[in-house]
Amino acid sequence: MLKEFIKEYKSSFDISFDDGFKGEFDKFYRLVTEPKFHPSANLFERLNFLNSLNYEPPIIAVVGQFSSGKSSFLNALLGLNLLPTGVVPVTAKPTYIKYAPNLMLKALYNDGREEYHAIEELGAFVDQRMSLKDVKCLYIYAPNELLKQVSFIDTPGLNSRSDADTNETKRILNRAGALIWISLIDNAARASELAELKLIPKSLKQNAICLLNQKDKLNSQEIANVLAHAKLTYDEYFDDVFAVSSKIQIAGDKNSGFDSVFSFITKLTKTKQDFIKNECEIILNSSIEQNDKFISILCELGGIFDKFGVDFETKFNQLKKDYETKFKLLFEEIKQNAKLIATEINSGLVVQNSAYYKPKKQMFGKDSFEKVEYEKVVLKSDDVLSRLIYNDEKMAKSFKKLRRELGAFEESIKNDLNASFEELKDRVLGFKAKYESLRKSNELLSDALFADIRKFSSEVYALFLNEFERTLFAKSALLGLFFEKISIKIATNYQNAIKLSVSFIEEKINKAASDYESDPLAFGLYYPRIEEINERVLTMLSYYEFENDFVGQRPFIIKFIEALQGDFLAIKDKNLAYVNALKSKYEQNKLELRKEN
């Protein structure tokens, strides 16, 4: 059992590779299909195809518009009457043509079944003029020397009457090792054909040629003119363009142009390893570019948070100064209102004559009283309260104005905060909309990794904005409580503050007068000064309770904004750390892939 475990372990982890090209390919195969890269089924399929080229001939896709003579060309090239031909599309299913010692037909069904048939039954599977069976693709095996060098895929064409067949041809083009495009010489380079050529992968160009078929219909000069035009028109898509005639080739005439095709095939077999290397390089570069794409996406999101951090700090560093100035102005307004109240109270002070009786000793022990007259200050509190509260709207309007200003200032701060968050929210949701439906542009790329990016993008609000939103809500509530406290204690409670101030001054005057009358030598009368009245009003208006919050070294609004800045920047840094951790994963993947380059 232990020996079996060691053997299994070595087969899974102790990997060694053969020397030479095959060993290098196996090493590359293992690298790009590591589970952490989440390779797609299409990538496995492509790599398996490339691996098969180490053991089998390269595969050439034969493509063209319907009735361009693809099947006739292959019959002529192989010198065998294998494929049905006609004036309507007859190649309904992709047909692989490979070497075997005996002539036979294999049908691969969509459900995975395989059936072997005599070659004479081929028409039942591919000829659209006949009843078709549920076949995915066909394999024709023939004892032909050319098929030892290359295999072929006869395709339905890019303008087949069936969209499914056209799509299948596109899929084959992405997997073929080489391409022969068949075009009728008297119909070459038409607009409809050029539109289809754009579907050919650019990576195929070096191993792609275009054949202008049925050159037997034109004279030499006409052929030369068409070739010149076609080479110019097709330069973007093919390595070269030749004129051929399947009819002349079947007749055994050397002027068929097929020599160019045989030369192309010979060159292809000699450069098979170069083709595999080029394809591996394309796969590697695609994998690297895929990680670059994900890194750039995450950099874009990181840039959003970086910009938010800079913008928020810059904006609120300036707003802190504005808020502090506004706080001072509001506090000064409270002070001015207190001064007006103090002035009114002071105007209610009048001097009036008063008297009291003190005992006076008489002769013979008889008690008597002496009237002592003096002047004292009296506060006409009813008149003062009437002017300040009951019969005058001036003070009421002044404090209503203060309440409105406090409310407007609070709303202004909240709007500024919300505006900054909304800017961040818009950018993040823009990112979400941009990438939550992202699709890979290359079928070789990882379905799982693109699905991860889509899922990540769809969840950015919950991942990154919820904490900002909760923090903003909590801070806004704290701000609201502060302004509510000011409004209640100062702006709303001003009448009670006036009454308490008047009552305090009046009681102090009366107490001083009472003490004076009891002992004029020990006590003096109280004459309120305007400064004392003002201080009392300020105290009753809770001015000093909020003084540090308004005009202290670090007023409330400064501490509030700085605390919010700290919280927001901490959340921003946390978000960036999360994004950078994801980026590092892709950067590490890219680094490992680059080692292979």
Mean pLDDT along residues 245-258? 90
Can you give the pLDDT at residue 9? 47
**Looking at the structure, do residues 13 and 101 belong to the same domain, yes or no?**
no
Instruction: Indicate the range of 152-166, 209-223, 263-277 predicted with least confidence.
Output: 152-166
**100: exposed, middle or buried (Cβ count in 10 Å: 0-12, 13-18, 19+):** middle
pLDDT band at 87 (very low <50, low <70, confident <90, very high): very low
First to last CA, the chain: 41
C-beta pairs of 564-569 under 8 Å, 24+ apart in sequence? 564/316, 564/417, 564/471, 564/472, 564/475, 565/312, 565/313, 565/316, 567/471, 567/475, 568/309, 568/312, 568/468, 568/471, 569/309, 569/312, 569/313
Final residue of a structural domain among 241, 270, 299: 270
Q: Are 56 and 92 in a shared domain? A: yes
More confident residue, 68 or 536: 536
Q: What confidence category does residue 85 fall into, taking pLDDT thresholds of 50, 70 and 90?
A: confident
Residue 431 resides in a domain: yes
Contacts of 471 (CB under 8 A, 6+ apart): 564, 567, 568, 571
Of 263, 214, 224, 280, give the one whose Cα is nearest residue 27: 280
| Closest-CA residue to 59 (of 13, 98, 20, 17) | 98
Rounded percentage of the chain residues whose pLDDT exceeds 90: 51
Specify whether 153 is located in the same domain as 202.
yes
The predicted-structure confidence for 378-435, as pLDDT tens digits, reads as follows 999 999 999 888 877 888 888 889 899 999 999 999 999 999 999 999 999 999 999 9
In this structure, the strands spanning 104-109 and 135-142 are antiparallel
Is residue 108 located within the same domain as residue 179? yes
Helix (H) or strand (E) holding 80: none
The answer to whether residues 10 and 95 belong to one domain is no
Per residue in 493-529, pLDDT tens? 888 999 999 999 999 999 999 999 898 889 989 999 9
Taking the C-alpha atoms of residue 5 and residue 11, their distance in angstroms, rounded to an integer, is 10
Q: Could you tell me the residue range of the domain that residue 317 belongs to?
A: 285-596
Residue 279, domain member (yes or no): no
In the chain, the number of structural domains is 3
Average pLDDT of every residue of the chain: 87
Tokens in use for 136? 């995915």
Residue 132 has a pLDDT of 58
Question: Has residue 131 got a pLDDT over 90?
Answer: no
Residue 78's nearest CA partner among 49, 103, 45, 53 is 103
Q: Are 328 and 179 part of one and the same domain?
A: no
Helix H segments across 62-132? 70-78, 123-126
508 located within any domain: yes
pLDDT of residue 442: 85
| Same domain, residue pair 155 and 63 | yes
Q: Is the pLDDT of residue 76 over 50?
A: yes
Q: What is the mean pLDDT of residues 16-20?
A: 78
pLDDT band with cut points at 50, 70 and 90 for residue 196: confident
Q: Which strands make up the sheet holding 114-117, listed edge to edge?
A: 114-117, 104-109, 135-142, 95-99, 151-154, 59-64, 178-184, 208-213, 240-243
The CATH code of the domain that includes 158 is: 3.40.50.300
**Residue 140: beta bridge partners?**
97, 105
For residues 217 and 343, state if they share a domain: no
Asked if 236 and 328 sit in the same domain, the reply is no
Q: What is the pLDDT of residue 88?
A: 45
Percent of the chain with pLDDT over 70: 92
Q: Measured in whole angstroms, how far is the alpha carbon of residue 38 from the centre of its chain?
A: 21
Mean pLDDT of 224-249: 90
d(CA 550, CA 83): 94
Average pLDDT over residues 243-258: 91
Per-residue pLDDT, averaged over 555-574, amounts to 93
Most confident of 171-185, 297-311, 532-546: 297-311
Contact (Cβ atoms closer than 8 angstroms) between residue 312 and residue 306: no
Q: pLDDT per residue over 306-343, tens digit each?
A: 999 999 999 999 998 999 999 899 889 989 999 999 99
Going by pLDDT thresholds of 50, 70 and 90, the confidence category of residue 187 is confident
275 within some domain? no
Distance between CA 98 and CA 56 in Å, rounded? Answer: 10
Report the alpha-carbon angle 341-345-346, nearest 5: 115
Q: Do 445 and 546 share a domain, yes or no?
A: yes
